[in-house]
Amino acid sequence: MAEEVKLFRTWSSPYALRIVWALKLKGIEYETIFEDLTNKSPSLLQYNPTHGKVPVLVRDGKPVCESLVILEYVDETWKHNPLLPQDPYEKSMARFWANFGDDKLMKSIWQLFIAHEKDQDVAAVAALENLKIVEEQLKGKKFFHGETIGYLDLAFGWIANLVSILEEIMSLKLVDGERFPHLSSWIQHFIDAPVIRDCWPPRDKMIIKFQVMRENYLAAATPK
Query: Which parts of this chain interact with another protein (CB under 8 A)?
Result: 50, 59, 62, 64-66, 68-70, 72-73, 76-77, 88-89, 91-92, 95-96, 99-100, 133
**Under 8 Å between Cβ of 75 and 60:** no
| Cβ neighbours for 114, distance < 8 A, ≥ 6 positions apart | 214, 217, 218, 221
Give 35 or 72: the residue with its C-beta nearer to another protein: 72
* Nearest residue to 91 (alpha-carbon basis) of 144, 27, 22, 147: 144
* Other C-beta atoms lying within 10 Å of the C-beta of residue 94: 22
- Main-chain dihedrals φ then ψ at residue 143, nearest 5 degrees: -120, 170
Does 14 sit behind a cis peptide bond, omega within 30 degrees of 0 on the bond before it?
A: no
Q: Are strands 31-34 and 5-9 parallel, antiparallel or unpaired?
A: parallel
Beta carbon of residue 93, minimum distance to another protein (angstroms, whole number): 8
Smallest distance from another protein to CB 151, Å:
13
Min. distance of Cβ 175 from another protein in angstroms?
Answer: 19
Nearer to another protein, 11 or 96 (CB): 96
Cβ proximity to another protein: between 131 and 165 the closer is 131
Nearest distance in Å: CB 66, another protein:
5
Of 40 and 59, which CB lies nearer to another protein in the complex structure?
59
Quote the CA–CA distance of 224 and 214 in Å, as a whole number: 18
Pick from 100, 109, 66: which is nearest to 214 by CA? 109
CB of 75 to another protein, least distance (A): 9
In the bound state with another protein, the residue whose beta carbon lies nearer, of 57 and 206, is 57
